[in-house]
Amino acid sequence: MSKSKRLVELIMSVNSKRKFTVQELADEFGVSYRTILRDLAELEEIGIPLYSEVGVGGGYRVLNERLLPPISFTESEAISMFFIAESIKYYNSLPFKNESSSALKKFYHYLPSEVKKTIDEIGKRLTFWTPTVSLSDEFLKDVLNSSIKQEVIKISYDSENQISEREVQIVGLYTAKGIWYCPAYCFKSKDFRLFRVDRIRAFSTENIKEDKIDLDNFTILDWFKDNEPDINKNNKEIEITVKLTRKGVKKLESGASFSKNIILNDDSSGTLICKIPEVYIYWSVDYFIGCGKDAIVEKPDFIRKLIKDKINDLLNYY
């Protein structure tokens, strides 16, 4: 049996045993005592958590019984793992950043040289750029674990207005533009609220007064669905007309879901005619102010007035 095959089978063997001796393994694999000692040392080097006990009745055992058995990957599957890793490369905070880095290093070490070369080239030619946000996500992993366990936690939250103490039950986590958010049921507000993880100043699972609510069948995707405007039921729609320069057309095509509603002119300028939910009116005011002269709202008049009022209000600060 080749050494590489023996090491793989050795991992599977020690993972299935509660306790074992070097001689037992030597007899099982038909090799010398010294060979098994060297093999066990190599397993420890790649992160297998072995613990040795000396004296009569001593031996070895695996510290972590959740050690996973070897898994076979095709070349394409192996490359896809690093493709996925590249997509989160520039996130400043990740729940398992150190662990994922360690796992990829182990995985990379045992890949054939031609596969390593392909992965190295991917790193040179492909990236998923995410703005680096230098905000502290000290409790990111704690928040994730509490959402998995569905437990009530106590947080100190630094909002735009004040720091407040709350007991919450986290629905889940999501990230947007490098910032982590956690929708949660807030027992203080008696409703669901959206929190930014970087604004959590303290986290505790002790002295909790509230009993958890049943969110077992309410996922992070369910929360998104519940918080999307239902334009077919409760939200009135407003038709808007926006005159666009060529640059404005490009902005709207890349920055919002307006492209299918743009009517292009021969000179590549255009006109946006679409309906937006009434709840998005103030968002649209900020959005089109940000576009400057490249997107001028022509209708309706009340949105034009809101834009003018906001610009005049800003002028008072300059």
SS (H, E, C) the chain: CCHHHHHHHHHHHHHHCCCECHHHHHHHHCCCHHHHHHHHHHHHHCCCCEEEECCCCCEEEECCCCCCCCCCCCHHHHHHHHHHHHHCCCCCCCCCHHHHHHHHHHHHHCCCHHHHHHHHHHHHHCCCCCCCCCCCCCCHHHHHHHHHHCCEEEEEEECCCCEEEEEEEECCCEEECCEEEEEEEECCCCEEEEEEHHHEEEEECCCCCCCCCCCCCCCHHHHHHHCCCCCCCCCCEEEEEEEECHHHHHHHHHHCCCHHHEEECCCCCEEEEEEEEHHHHHHHHHHHHHCHHHEEEEECHHHHHHHHHHHHHHHCCC
180 φ/ψ angles, rounded to the nearest 5 degrees: -95, 135
Q: For each successive 10 residues of the chain (318 residues), what is the average pLDDT?
A: 78 77 89 90 79 69 61 78 76 73 79 86 79 72 92 92 92 85 93 92 91 91 74 69 94 76 92 87 90 94 94 90
CA distance 110 to 129: 28
Helix orientation angle between 301-315 and 281-290, rounded to the nearest 10 degrees: 60
Specify the pairing of strand 200-204 against strand 270-277.
unpaired
95 — phi, psi (to 5°)? -60, -35
Hey, what long-range contacts does 27-35 have (CB within 8 A, 24 or more apart)? 29/1, 30/1, 31/6
In this structure, the dihedral spanned by the alpha carbons of residues 308, 311, 313 and 318, taken in order and rounded to 10 degrees, is -150
Q: What pLDDT, on the 0 to 100 scale, is given for residue 167?
A: 95
Report the C-alpha gap between 85 and 104 in whole angstroms: 8
pLDDT at site 307: 95
- pTM of whole model > 0.75? no
What pLDDT score was predicted for residue 131?
66
